[in-house]
Structure 1
Amino acid sequence: MQNDHKNIFEEGQVLLINKPLEWTSFDVVRKIRNTIKIKKVGHAGTLDPLATGMLILCTGKFTKRINEYMAQEKEYTGTFTLGAVTPTYDLESEPQDFKDYNSVTPEQLQAIAAQFTGEIMQVPPMHSAIKKDGIRVYELARKGQTIELDPRRITIKEFEFTKIEMPVAHFRVVCSTGTYIRSLANDVGKAAGCGAYLSSLCRTRIGAFTLDKSMTMDEAFEWIAKEKAMGNRE
């Protein structure tokens, strides 16, 4: 991140942000945009409000790199909770259709993870921003409408359960862009026969960018203030 130009944010910066829980991705963009006082700020890949972790922000001339970053491989960690499902496949909606999960063994879960590793076809969740006939499907879902979404080809490069404390299973996934971890949770639940939903999610890597190199929002504001001060002194 260079600091040799008064308008470094217009010239272009890449900011790695650890998105706070319950913030939308656009909340982060709006806060940064208002702080650096330029309009051209965008993010490279949405994180749901209940997810945390890496969000790449590009400013100024670097916004042209957003598609390049969005296309890169991603890594996630988090938890699936077995024994129920939710309409949104995560905790944005209430768990329902409770089933007994006690017969599901750790060995079965690891075998299910293996089934979903590689190139697979995945149906996106109804509560997503995908458009069908020009309308975002989550808008249809909120009206109680259900439509058939076409499965999409994705690649799950790595998928493992790192700790299993039933009904909660901790996981790590490395996947291609376009993968819905919520859908993966729902599919795992179907395969296990008891249902499952995504109960926590953290994006830990995008391409070569890792979460340990990212800033909290407070750290980002502090860094921006320092860069502005240096620019004003030049």
Structure 2
Amino acid sequence: MPKVTAPPLPASGLFGLIKPSGPTCMSLLNRMQPLLSKSKLFVDPEKVEQAKNAPKSRKRRKRGGDVKLGQGGTLDPLADGVIVVGVGKATKQLTRFLDCTKEYRTTCLLGCETDSYDSEGAKVRIAPWKHVTKELVEEALSQFTGQIKQTPPIFSALKMDGKALYEYARKGIPLPRPIEARDVTVHSLELVEWLGSSHSYSWPDKSLSEDEKKAVEKALQGVNEGVSLKDKPETSTETNSSDVIPSAFVLRMRVSGGTYVRSIVHDLANTLGSAGHVVTLQRSRQGQFVLEPEGDDDRSCIPWEVFEKALSDSGEVDEDGWTEWERQVLQHIEVVQ
């Protein structure tokens, strides 16, 4: 195995982790914590030995250990890709990754709007989609490029007058005022693949009840009387058949911090005279941490599977005393003094 150079120990630093779709970011950090807290890479060797020999306490320590650990911006459970992990003193630098440039690849499925704007949510309404073509999508992208304003979805945890927006929606309480739009920058936005009906995605089975729809409408109509969540299916019986697969397409975008990718997909579908939601979402870049390095300053990331394997089997140590997961961290870490 190639030699790895260890920084002054115990180390503090940043590294990119490749999150799989499914688990939350926090659950991955919680699972990593015991590994890091028993490694001489991040903990004084004497403390590592003391921890090994100390009797097990019934009280669970925070995240399973003493090493400070954090993330520079979370991803939804549905999403996969880059998250930046900070260890030790480097946790103080994680806030800069909240506002840094990020890149995403996402798939939009047409014809159905959900409350969460992605496939994890419930159907809110269906709309025509057959008229949408690759050319129409490409023509509409310019409206969502540059400095734009985004309105967060009503089913979000953002607060208005001390109450989460989703509480207004679920209880049918009219919003006191419009949801404040945010200034964001979309540096680039392109259609990279038109899937048409050649895919395996489908609309969610879960849907809002009529009472739930009325509650959401009531909340929204407090600021926009014309809001309607009524279904508008295709006029053709053929295109409403369960055997017909709605069109989907893949977008790639480079955006500023604070940009809602799901909102771009939702708003774009509405502009196209349809409805749509996210069915896949991958973050390919967060700052200098990327899935596929291109420039000299880019840093590749560690697949989650490296840590998952170490949790079940620590594996052999090399001649310098490092396990495989520690070697991976040493190869990828950006040391912070």
If the length of structure 2 is used for normalisation, what is the TM-score?
0.62
SS in 1 for 2:85: strand
- The answer for the alignment partner of 2:182 in structure 1 is 152
Give 1 or 2: higher strand fraction.
1
- The answer for the alignment partner of 1:114 in structure 2 is 142
Contact 2:104 2:282 in 1 (8 A): yes
SS in 2 for 1:156: strand
SS in 2 for 1:85: strand
Q: How many residues align?
A: 228
* Deviation for aligned residue 1:130: 2.6
* Deviation for aligned residue 1:126: 2.6
- Give per-residue Cα distances to partners, 1:163-214, cap 9 Å, x unaligned: 1123101110110000001111110111011111111100000122212311
- The answer for the alignment partner of 2:276 in structure 1 is 196
Check 1:203–1:142 CA distance in 2 against 1; reply closer, same or farther (3 A cut): farther
**Distance in 2, Cα, partners of 1:221 & 1:13:** 20
Contact 1:3 1:230 in 2 (8 A): no
Consecutive unaligned residues of structure 2, counting only runs of 5 or more, are 38-65, 197-246, 293-299, 324-337
- The answer for the alignment partner of 1:3 in structure 2 is 6
Check 1:55–1:129 CA distance in 2 against 1; reply closer, same or farther (3 A cut): farther
Check 1:215–1:118 CA distance in 2 against 1; reply closer, same or farther (3 A cut): same
**Distance in 2, Cα, partners of 1:222 & 1:200:** 25
Q: Does 1:61 align with 2:89?
A: yes
Contact 1:35 1:221 in 2 (8 A): no
**Distance in 2, Cα, partners of 1:2 & 1:73:** 30
RMSD: 2.6
* Deviation for aligned residue 1:93: 1.2
Instruction: Give runs of aligned pairs for residues 13-28 of structure 1, distance below 5 A.
Output: 13-28=13-28
Instruction: Give runs of aligned pairs for residues 5-84 of structure 1, distance below 5 A.
Output: 5-8=8-11, 12-37=12-37, 38-84=66-112
* Deviation for aligned residue 1:127: 3.1
**Distance in 2, Cα, partners of 1:153 & 1:2:** 43
If the length of structure 1 is used for normalisation, what is the TM-score?
0.87
- The answer for the alignment partner of 1:218 in structure 2 is 305
Consecutive unaligned residues of structure 1, counting only runs of 5 or more, are none
**Distance in 1, Cα, partners of 2:181 & 2:257:** 14
**Distance in 1, Cα, partners of 2:257 & 2:193:** 25
* Deviation for aligned residue 1:222: 6.7
Contact 2:262 2:277 in 1 (8 A): yes
* Deviation for aligned residue 1:155: 0.4
Check 1:39–1:129 CA distance in 2 against 1; reply closer, same or farther (3 A cut): farther
- The answer for the alignment partner of 2:53 in structure 1 is none
* Deviation for aligned residue 1:221: 5.8
Check 1:44–1:190 CA distance in 2 against 1; reply closer, same or farther (3 A cut): same
Contact 1:99 1:195 in 2 (8 A): yes
Contact 1:77 1:201 in 2 (8 A): yes
**Distance in 1, Cα, partners of 2:79 & 2:31:** 18
Q: Which of 1 and 2 has greater Rg?
A: 2
Percent of residue pairs bearing the same amino acid type = 29
**Distance in 2, Cα, partners of 1:196 & 1:20:** 23
**Distance in 2, Cα, partners of 1:221 & 1:200:** 23
* Deviation for aligned residue 1:132: 2.9
